[in-house]
Amino acid sequence: MPRRAARRAGHHLVPRSYASTSSAYASTVAAQADSEDEANKRSIASLTLDVPLIPLKTKAQRVPLNPFPFLSLPSELRVKVYEHYFDGTDKVLDLDPDNHRRIHKILGLMRVCKQIHAEAAHLFYSTRPFRIFPTHHAKKKKPLLARLKPGQREYITSLELRLGPGWNSPPKTWVVNDALGLKDCVNVRKLNVFVECDPSDGVFKGFRRSEGFYEGFSRRLLASVIDELPAVGVIEFDAWSSVKKSGDMMRGLLDVATQSKRLIRWGPERGWTDTDEDTTSADSAARFVNSIPIQGYASNILVVA
C-alpha cells in the first residue's frame, strides 16, 4: 500500500535539474525585458556613435494676422481677379489628358466658400465653350458635358460640335441622349460647328465607308443637337482650309442650320463670308499651278517650226 501511494504522488514531483533550468530561463527573460525597457527609454541620439542627430524641424505655415478682405472688394474687381486666375485654361474645354494637372488644381478655388464658388463657377463655365463630344480617344471616353453636374451645365453659354474625327467609323459614344445633359444647357446661346474634313472630296475616294455615309451622320447629329438646345440663336461654322463650302459636307450642314431658322455666322479660321468661295479658290489654285516652273518649258513663248 505505501508503495502505491508513492507511485501515485511521483508524477507531481519535478526534477531538481529541470527546476534550476526553468528558474534560470525566467531570470534571463526578465533581464532581457529590463534591458529593452532601458533601450526604449533612451533617445535615438544616445544610440548613435559618431554622427550627432539633428532634430527634424517642420516649417510652420505663415498665416497672415490680417487676411486680405477679398469679399469686401466690389464685384467688378472680383470678376477681374477671377478672369486673371482662369486665364491659363484652354480656349475650348475638352477631355484632355492634362486636365487633372492644369485645370483640376485651379478649380480648388471654388471650395473656399459658397460666395466665391458661385461667382467663380459662373465666370469659369460661362466664358469658354465646351466641346460636346471628345476628340481625344473619342471611342473610349465619356463626354465631358455628361460628366458635369446639372448646375454646372446651366452656366454654359457656348458649345462646340467638332466634326471629322472618326469620319470612316464614328465613335459609338457620339449619341445625343438624356445622359449627355444637353437639356440642362438652358443658357447656351451659341453653337460652334468646326469641320475638320469633307469625305466627299476626291482625296477620300477609295477610303470611304460608303458614299455619303459620314455626311449623313453629321447632318443627323447636328439636327439632334439643335433640337436639344432651343435657346441657341447663332450657329457659327468654321473649318480647315481643305474644306469647301460647296462640298457635300458643308451644304448638308448649312441646310440643317437654315431649316432650324438660326442665325448663321462664319468663324475666323477658314475666313468664309456670305459670298461663294468656289471661283476664288479655283482662281488661286490655277495661279499656283501656273507659277510652278517646268524644266524645258517657258510660258508665253510662241515657237514657230
Q: Residues 225-267: pLDDT tens digits?
A: 999 999 999 999 999 999 999 999 999 999 999 999 999 999 9
112 with 226, same domain: the answer is no
Output the pLDDT for position 88.
81
In a domain, 247, yes or no: yes
Cα separation, 97 vs 160, in Å, equals: 19
Output the pLDDT for position 95.
84
- Mean pLDDT in residue range 92-120: 87
Work out the pLDDT band at 45, boundaries 50, 70, 90.
Answer: low
In a domain, 227, yes or no: yes
Output the pLDDT for position 207.
87
Cα separation, 202 vs 198, in Å, equals: 9
140 with 95, same domain: the answer is no
Among 20-24, 93-97, 195-199, name the most confident range.
195-199
Output the pLDDT for position 210.
87
144 with 225, same domain: the answer is yes
79 with 197, same domain: the answer is no
Output the pLDDT for position 132.
95
Looking at the chain, the whole-number percentage of residues with pLDDT higher than 90 is 48
Lowest mean pLDDT among 3-7, 65-69, 263-267: 3-7
E strand map for 9-134? 130-131
In a domain, 219, yes or no: yes
192 with 265, same domain: the answer is yes
The residue with cell 490655277 is 286
196 with 114, same domain: the answer is no
122 with 145, same domain: the answer is no
Work out the pLDDT band at 287, boundaries 50, 70, 90.
Answer: very low
Please list, in sequence order, all residues whose beta carbon lies within 8 angstroms of the beta carbon of residue 156, skipping any fewer than 6 positions away: 125, 126, 130, 185, 187, 188
Q: Which residue has the higher pLDDT, 5 or 28?
A: 28
Cα separation, 167 vs 218, in Å, equals: 9
249 with 224, same domain: the answer is yes
Q: What are phi and psi of 214, to 5 degrees?
A: -70, -30
The residue with cell 466690389 is 74
- Mean pLDDT in residue range 103-111: 87
Cα separation, 64 vs 83, in Å, equals: 25
User: Domain span at residue 111?
Assistant: 72-128
Output the pLDDT for position 288.
39
Assess contact for 112 and 140: CB atoms under 8 A: no
Q: What are phi and psi of 174, to 5 degrees?
A: -85, 75
What are residue 190's DSSP bridge partners? 158, 234
Cα separation, 191 vs 159, in Å, equals: 5
Output the pLDDT for position 181.
95
Cα separation, 257 vs 254, in Å, equals: 5
Specify the number of domains making up the chain: 2
Task: Look at residues 128, 156, 175 and tell me which one is the last residue of a structural domain.
Answer: 128
E strand map for 74-227? 130-131, 158-163, 190-195
Output the pLDDT for position 3.
54
Cα separation, 165 vs 98, in Å, equals: 20
Cα separation, 130 vs 153, in Å, equals: 10
Output the pLDDT for position 213.
93
- Mean pLDDT in residue range 108-125: 93
E strand map for 100-225? 130-131, 158-163, 190-195
Output the pLDDT for position 2.
52
Output the pLDDT for position 61.
72
155 with 194, same domain: the answer is yes
What are residue 264's DSSP bridge partners? 235
78 with 119, same domain: the answer is yes
Output the pLDDT for position 159.
97
Lowest mean pLDDT among 94-98, 166-170, 290-294: 290-294
Work out the pLDDT band at 285, boundaries 50, 70, 90.
Answer: very low
Residue 276 pLDDT exceeds 90: no
Lowest mean pLDDT among 12-26, 58-72, 217-231: 12-26
- Mean pLDDT in residue range 217-222: 97
Per DSSP, 11 falls in state: T
